[in-house]
Amino acid sequence: MISFRFSTIAVALVCFVSAGMAADIEERNIKIGTTLAGDHPQVAALTKFGELLGQKSGGKLKVKIYPGGTLGNDVSMTAAVQGGVQEMAIPEASTLVGNPALKEFGLLNLPLLFKNSAEADKVLDGPFGKKLLDRLPQTGLIGLGIWENGFRHVTNSRHPINKVEDFAGLKIRVLQNPLMIDLFSTLGANAVPMPFPEVYPGLESKAVDGQENPFATIESSKFYEVNKHAVISGHVYSAWALIMGKKFWDKLSPVEQKLVRDAAAEATTYERTIMREFDRKALESVKAKGMQVTVLSDAERARMGEKLKPVTDKFTNQFGAAAAAELTAELARIRAGK
């Protein structure tokens, strides 16, 4: 009898709490924009985020994804999210450095910074990654996670790249940030900043000879159709920032905010898992479709690092020497197994 009464009370309490939570969840529509194609794994992870948020909110928080740059490029969508016109976006993290308060995001793009993805995860999920996300609210943004784009590699339509000197003279589309422009200029290439939706037409028309991205993007964007050559250079690690506008965030109840953060955390783990698998398969896919892939040897990567040292030094100081020291120390602890 006592057990029955206890169970009845427990069930009633759960129902009461659930009902209380439901009262704190309103019907809301959330637009997420991305520059990537609908079949890219990033979009699959955004879809997962939407499904998780829908489940957790009893279907009240609805997510709609706008792929392929239909809402604009990374820079314009970030501004739209800040202004409250758009609820969410997932820009390349390096595009955030245009805001002085977010310049430390640029440290993630320092040449040859990470040795592997596991190392990157520990930094992004650790104190340094948290510090980066904590800087976003002062700019009108809420950081919900840092997602992996991956190690970037170069493709081109002119010739194979086997050594550092082979970059010379190539017109390479780069991200719209000074570090990438200086990186490729220092390697002797002609760096051409260009919004992502314009890359395929630029390659097709020969306005540029090549571009640089992880193989997941190279494959899903069909760059193998317009670029015959690729080199596994891994010159930069690339990440996305999953962001929500603070104006929209502040309208959410504490319960809704927790649901959004919980769904984002689960989706972050999911994204990294499928991204790495897709990237691996994408490399094999582009080879099967005729792309000729070379690999920069360890010796050539060391030569690249030496050639790019002035770029690394310049942007270490520009993005914040103190923060760079924190990042270096954190990497040293990780590599020491601490």
pLDDT 10s digits, 218-239: 998 999 999 999 999 999 999 9
Task: Report the distance separating Cα 109 and Cα 96, nearest Å.
Answer: 12
Res 2 pLDDT > 60: no
pLDDT tens profile 256-276: 999 999 999 999 999 999 999
pLDDT of residue 21: 61
Task: Report the distance separating Cα 112 and Cα 316, nearest Å.
Answer: 13
The full set of domain ranges for the chain reads: 16-335
Task: Report the distance separating Cα 329 and Cα 299, nearest Å.
Answer: 25
pLDDT of residue 20: 52
pLDDT of residue 197: 87
Tell me the backbone φ, ψ of residue 317, rounded to 5 degrees: -70, -40
How far is the first Cα of the chain from the last one, in angstroms, to the nearest whole number? 54
Do 78 and 195 meet the contact criterion of CB atoms below 8 Å apart?
Answer: no
pLDDT of residue 263: 98
Residue 103: name the closest of 311, 309, 324 by CA: 324
Helix (H) or strand (E) holding 166: none
Tell me the backbone φ, ψ of residue 9, rounded to 5 degrees: -65, -40
Candidate from 148-157, 175-184, 295-304 with smallest mean pLDDT: 175-184
Please, what is the Cα angle at 94 between 265 and 277, to 5 degrees? 50
The distance of Cα 302 from the centroid of its chain, to the nearest Å, equals: 26
For the chain, percent of residues with pLDDT exceeding 70: 93
Res 33 pLDDT > 90: yes
Give 13's pLDDT tier (boundaries 50, 70, 90): very low
Res 254 pLDDT > 60: yes
Secondary structure (DSSP) of 232-287 = EEEEEEEEEEEEEEHHHHTTS-HHHHHHHHHHHHHHHHHHHHHHHHHHHHHHHHHH
Annotation: CATH topology of 16-335: D-Maltodextrin-Binding Protein; domain 2 (3.40.190)
b/e 258-274 (16+ beta carbons within 10 angstroms → b): ebbeebbebbbebbbeb
Task: Report the distance separating Cα 290 and Cα 225, nearest Å.
Answer: 9
pLDDT of residue 94: 86
The distance of Cα 313 from the centroid of its chain, to the nearest Å, equals: 24
pLDDT of residue 10: 45
> Which residues make Cβ contacts (< 8 Å) with residue 48, sequence separation at least 6?
266, 267, 270, 271
Residues 145-160: what's their mean pLDDT? 96
pLDDT of residue 1: 44
Secondary structure (DSSP) of 71-106 = T--HHHHHHHHHHTSSSEE--BGGGGGGSGGGGGGG
